[in-house]
Amino acid sequence: MTFDAPMHGNLGLPETGMLVVAVLLLAGALAGELAARVRLPRIVGYALAGIGFGFADTGLPMVDLVGPARLFGELGLGLLLFDLGRRVDPGWWRRDPSLAATALLEMGATFAACFALLITFGIPAPWAAVAAAVALSSSPAVAVAVVRDLKAQGQVTERLLWLSGVNTVAAALAATMLLAWLHAEYAANPWTALLHPLYLVAGSLALASAIAWSLSSGSRFMGPGTTGRLLGSLAAVLLALALARAGGLSVPLTLIALGLLTHMFDRRHQRRSQEFGETARPLVVLFFVFAGTGLALVDFERYAVPALALVAVRWLAKWLAVGVAARFSGLDFRRSFRLGLALMPMSGLSLMLVTDAGRFYPEMGADLTGILITAIAILELLGPLATHFALVRAGEAAQENERA
Amino acid sequence: MPEDVLEFAPSATLSMGVELEVQVLETVDFNLTQGASYLLEQIRRAKVAGDIKHEVTESMVELATGIHTRHDELLAELGALRDGLVAAADRLNLAVCGGGAHPFQRWEERRIVDNPRYRRVSELYGYLAKQFTVFGQHVHIGCPSGDDALYLLHALSRYVPHFIALAASSPYYQGADTRFATSRLHVVSAFPLAGHCPWVTTWDEFRAYFERMRAVGIVASMKDFYWDIRPKPEYGTIELRVCDTPLTVRQAAAIAAYLQTLARRLLRERHTLGGPDRYLAYAVNRFNACRFGFDAELIDAFDGARCRVADDILATVDMLAEDAVALGTGDALAELAAGVRAGMSGAGWMRERAAGDLSALVAAQAALWRGDGAPAGV
């Protein structure tokens, strides 16, 4: 009796990808639980695991961290943003106009402060504007993940989710438009200058609307709040991710628009969906781990000073603006400033905006990319701590034995 | 001093006041949420007139009216309180609704309000304190003396099933159809001092009973009795506590008017109470009303006669015509009767609306609570 089949295995690209996913998932989950043991947010553990692998990656060339396995992380982001859209009612500001004022003041202050700072560090004005636009976003992924882990409920929580949603849409729109416009500027063709930003923004929004509308309408046939609807939502996120990438559109903009629009249609027609919630945990772990891996290559020695300055200025702007404005929404003095603190995180979504920019528009320059990625690396760890602390101190977290 | 703590402070006969416990909801799944403190702060800032305050968990607030003698004025105040509450909730992206229990909330997720009394309750009663996230309507009726209060309390015991059926609006509990018209009352029954007031018919006897209970350390105050009807000596009232919070303030006011009218009749006619046997069928009738609502069969403890709750309510409303004219409660009673004739109650409306989607049901309850567009009986 002979065996024709080779006795040794063969690790091709797909197999390596799966192996990477399995290892990152396990390491992330383990680090997350360790973090929870010492009363830190789990996502800090996920990110630390990712950073660890990022360092290892340079010594282990066969582990391809930027390969197709990364898509699992993007899917995790997609699911988190979809759940965010479910929680955020964009029309809330009509019932509480001071909420809109808070958002405008917060974004205005953040943009102005970050722009001014980057100019003083010698970044050319157009690129400083792009970076300031990216800095608007308070990581909605961190907000959803921390809120979920703490089982937080209350006005600080709700306003955190709403403001993160709104400033992320603004960041994705502004950064995409500015980049496209700048790129066209260099391309020296007036038609490209007009059409390319339009294509990116309108294309992303149109794609998100089309999928959102189909999903919401289709849910009539699946019954309310059923598993069928959940599967439909998963397919929708996958579809949005695939088509946005294939069409060269903005992935972050498409994903956040998909979540918001689907649930806007749902609300209008009184349809009900289910949240992914804990079901999405494995992909959420992968999202934060992958985001962490990208941060290991940060050149701290070179960029620590401007990055720390950016982190500080951005946080001060958000903290002060929200601390002052949120009081008109009926939050007391302390809770207003805690809301400002909770808005600190900046993470994977901003990283996507930055790396997209760096990849497509090399004119952006290594320095600015370096500063931004370093700032994101700092906030990847510091941000969740701030949000976690703010929600606990605001009295909105569940008691420790009742948390996730 | 203990002796003068339980003085019955007489109040204007047949004056009435209503307390309503309402549900505080988020607006995505319409589950209960932690919002009472924010809501009360918002109400304070908006200077909404009237009494709106905390109840045991962060997912409920209580509206209380002032003292009224007329149904229309009571309804107007309840409407104003409701509007103030709804406006505050809108600003906070919250919703509020009536109903005796939330259809699908998980009791273990509730949070006890952070104040010493509620913490003590939580410590003593454990999971019962959180399970007590149920929402009732309490109606006070003013009595001239403690003896009158006890007479009225015992005389009303025969009608308790009416009030249970008229207010019943908690057919769903913890996500399941309980098949009861009201599931709320049996949550209250879990407390050791629930049920009915013992057979004492004068205020002196009552005081002696209370002192004995206090001396052996069973109770510390009247608040420890969770009876269906209990005297409230400091207000000079008796307090009916069996009603679920109805789905609309209109129904709540109509139920108060029914109680006021019935009280006038009973105080006027002075029935013989017939001794402790009066309570022989009480627990069974109460159970049947909770379970079957208007279709429940009532058993007369004295002669064993049986009748449907719906028929008994309609007969009682007819009997009260003269008193209703005197108090100006005719319209309210006619509306209650119309609901009974149509077989429509809060519980019935909820079952019609649920259709397998309890989130959508609570959303509809919140919409109903905002306005006056409900069918009679709801």
pLDDT at A3: 45
pLDDT at A65: 55
Quick check: B8 pLDDT over 50? Answer: yes
Contact A136, A170 (CB under 8 A): yes
Residue B233 DSSP class:
T
pLDDT tens for each residue of B120-145: 777 887 777 777 789 999 999 999 99
Six-digit token string for A270: 């009184």
Contacts of A155 in chain B (CB under 8 A): 35, 38, 92
Q: Mean per-residue pLDDT for B332-344? A: 96
Residue B57 has phi, psi (to 5 degrees) of: -115, 165
CATH 3.30.590.20 fits B2-370, yes or no: yes
Q: Report the residue from B41, B109, B359 with minimal CB separation from A225.
A: B359
Q: Mean per-residue pLDDT for B351-363? A: 90
Question: What is the nearest CA distance from A45 to chain B, expressed in angstroms?
Answer: 26
Determine whether B148 is exposed, middle or buried from the number of CB atoms within 10 Å of its CB (0-12, 13-18, 19+): buried
pLDDT at A223: 63
Q: Do B111 and A398 touch (CB under 8 A)?
A: yes
Q: Are strands B194-195 and B226-227 parallel, antiparallel or unpaired?
A: parallel
Q: Which long-range contacts (CB under 8 A, 24 or more apart) does B292-298 make?
A: B292/B181, B293/B164, B293/B165, B293/B168, B293/B181, B293/B182, B293/B345, B293/B347, B293/B348, B294/B165, B294/B181, B294/B340, B294/B343, B294/B345, B296/B161, B296/B165, B298/B161
Contact A110, A135 (CB under 8 A): yes
pLDDT at B132: 77
> Is B86 an 8 Å CB contact of chain A?
no
pLDDT tens for each residue of A394-403: 999 988 777 7
Contacts of A330 in chain B (CB under 8 A): 38, 41-42, 45, 91-92
Quick check: A12 pLDDT over 70? Answer: no
Contact A66, A16 (CB under 8 A): no
Contact A262, A215 (CB under 8 A): yes
User: Would you tell me how many other CB atoms lie within 10 Å of the CB of residue A13?
Assistant: 11
Helix (H, G, I), strand (E, B) or coil at B65: coil
Six-digit token string for A393: 């101190």
Q: Give B62 or A362, the one with higher predicted confidence.
A: B62
Q: Do B91 and A225 touch (CB under 8 A)?
A: no
In whole angstroms, give the CA distance from residue B245 to residue B24: 13
In whole angstroms, give the CA distance from residue B153 to residue B84: 33
Structural domains of chain A ordered from first start: 71-402 (1.20.1530.20)
> Is A327 an 8 Å CB contact of chain B?
no
Q: Give B258 or A7, the one with higher predicted confidence.
A: B258
Question: What is the nearest CA distance from B28 to chain A, expressed in angstroms?
Answer: 6
Q: Mean per-residue pLDDT for B358-362? A: 92
* Percentage of chain A modeled with pLDDT above 70: 89
Quick check: B78 pLDDT over 70? Answer: yes
> Which residue reads 């009796």 in tokens?
A1
B-facing residues of A in 366-395 (CB < 8 A) are 395
Task: Indicate whether this complex's ipTM tops 0.90.
Answer: no
Q: Mean per-residue pLDDT for B15-34? A: 95
Residue B205 has phi, psi (to 5 degrees) of: -60, -40
Contacts of B26 in chain A (CB under 8 A): 153, 158
pLDDT tens for each residue of A231-272: 899 999 999 999 999 998 889 999 999 999 999 999 888 888
Contacts of A396 in chain B (CB under 8 A): 34
Q: Mean per-residue pLDDT for A152-161? A: 96
Closest residue of A to B46, CA-based? A330
pLDDT tens for each residue of A277-308: 989 999 999 999 988 887 777 888 899 999 99
Q: Mean per-residue pLDDT for A330-350? A: 91
Give, for A249, the enclosing helix (H) or strand (E).
none
Contacts of A223 in chain B (CB under 8 A): 356
Quick check: A224 pLDDT over 60? Answer: no
Q: Mean per-residue pLDDT for B196-224? A: 93
> Is B109 an 8 Å CB contact of chain A?
yes
Lowest mean pLDDT among A7-11, A70-74, A119-123: A7-11
Angle formed at CA A357 by CA A355 and CA A363, multiple of 5 degrees: 120
Quick check: B4 pLDDT over 60? Answer: no
Q: Give B87 or A192, the one with higher predicted confidence.
A: B87
Q: For residue B164, give the nearest of B288, B79, B71, B62 by alpha carbon.
A: B288
- Sequence ranges of the domains in chain B: 2-370
In whole angstroms, give the CA distance from residue B128 to residue A137: 44
Q: Mean per-residue pLDDT for B234-248? A: 97
Six-digit token string for B278: 């009066």
Quick check: B191 pLDDT over 60? Answer: yes
> Is B38 an 8 Å CB contact of chain A?
yes
Q: Do B45 and A92 touch (CB under 8 A)?
A: no
B-facing residues of A in 115-154 (CB < 8 A) are 151, 153-154
What sign for the dihedral angle of Cα A205, A162, A347, A152?
negative
